[in-house]
Amino acid sequence: MTGPRILLVRFSAIGDCVMATWAATAIRQKYPDGFLVWAVEGRCAPVIDRHRLVTQRYEFPRDRWKQKKWSPATWQQQLSKYVRLRALRFDLGLDLQGHSKTALCLRIASPKKRISAAATDRFASCLNPLATGRTADMHTVEWNHAVLNHLEPFEFAERPTLPDVGAVRQPNLVSISVGAGHPSKIYPRIHWERIARDLIAKGFRVVALGGKNDEPLEVDGIENQVGKLRLKESLRVVAESALHLAGDTGTGHMAAAVGTPVVSIFGPMDPVLYRPYTKSGTVLLRDADPKKVSPEEVLEAAAHYLSGGGA
């Protein structure tokens, strides 16, 4: 490989990793032969393409480490994992998360030139240079690219590279993601069930997605995949959908990245900064509380994208 050796650090979460794929794609577009390593938590790694995007996914067992986070053995494992990155002799490095754990990873890896998007605590602020210039209305995808440009100029990637899941768009398919990473972001199950019944009655095929801790939807005729699919399999369903419905969660960002129209129901997070980055998307927000968004509002937004798509 003749290009530079670059380290991108973004451990989590799934949606944030998807938003970081725009910056990774910009790197790959400029340096097709570059050596690009992404440091990431194992649970988020499936959204990072290993064939066309990164040279290597450098995975961390954060879930296992969290179980014994005060153990000296855990600290030793973490530091040892970070130190091994230094042997790769990176030219450039960026931390798109800004937590102590990611800042320490970048600092110990010791690229010749490095930058961090943020510092969420005092320790992180001492470890790496901080990017400047973010405005109040700058979306995270755009800020990630601005951080990258603190290292050197890169062209913005209009569409990011995600794993090729062999998906073919199904004009009659609507997928619904029922969960979210925090209770304040969860849309009520009873509302999702009302929406699913209406879509099924109109002839749409509806697939429910979610994690192992999410409750399945109890609706006649629904294809219930809640807690049954791996992340990459969920990505395929989203990519096949004519429309994806979700709260403020990772699958909404996946939909934006693969070009699937998405209706997102937001809560406390600012959609100006964190909405799915797409022109084919609608954000519904009422008083920073997802429960206040009615099923009728969701169905009205969905109809905009589904007109003519029913059976």
In the chain, list all ranges with CATH 3.40.50.2000: 5-148, 173-306
Across the range 275-279, mean pLDDT stands at 98
CATH class held by domain 173-306? alpha beta
d(C-alpha 285, C-alpha 6), whole Å:
38
For the chain, give the mean pLDDT.
95
Give me the torsion for CA of 167, 168, 169, 175, rounded to 10°: -40
Rounded distance between C-alpha atoms, residue 24 and residue 157, angstroms:
9
For residue 259, what pLDDT band results from cuts at 50, 70 and 90?
very high
pLDDT at position 307, please? 87
pLDDT of 309 higher than 70: no
Q: What percent of the chain has a predicted confidence (pLDDT) above 90?
A: 91
Q: Residues of the chain with pLDDT > 70: what percent?
A: 97
Q: Which of 71-80, 247-256, 283-292 has the lowest mean pLDDT?
A: 71-80
Residue 62 — pLDDT band, cuts 50, 70, 90? confident
Which of 40-54, 75-89, 116-130 is predicted with the least confidence, judged by mean pLDDT? Answer: 75-89
pLDDT at 100 (0 to 100): 94
Query: Do the Cβ atoms of 178 and 226 come closer than 8 Å?
Result: yes
pLDDT value for 308:
57
Answer whether 96's CB lies under 8 Å from 117's CB: yes
pLDDT at 78 over 80: yes
For domain 5-148, the CATH architecture is 3-Layer(aba) Sandwich (3.40)
pLDDT digits (tens, 9 = 90+) for 156-181: 999 999 999 999 999 999 999 999 99
**pLDDT at 311 (0 to 100):** 41
pLDDT attached to residue 168: 97
Per-residue pLDDT tens digits for 187-245: 999 999 999 999 999 999 999 999 999 999 999 999 999 999 999 999 999 999 999 99
Beta strands in 123-255 (DSSP E): 173-177, 205-209, 223-224, 243-247
What per-residue confidence (pLDDT) applies to 277? 98
Tokens representing residue 226 in the block:
């809640």
pLDDT of residue 310: 41
Res 167: pLDDT:
95
pTM to 2 decimal places: 0.95
Query: How far apart are alpha carbons 159 and 20 in whole angstroms?
Result: 12
Residue 217 CA to residue 8 CA, distance in Å, equals 38
- Number of helices (H) and strands (E) in the chain: give both, helices first: 11, 11
Q: What is the pLDDT of residue 77?
A: 82
What six digits make up the tokens of 70?
């005060």
Position 150 scores a pLDDT of 98
pLDDT at 79 over 90: no
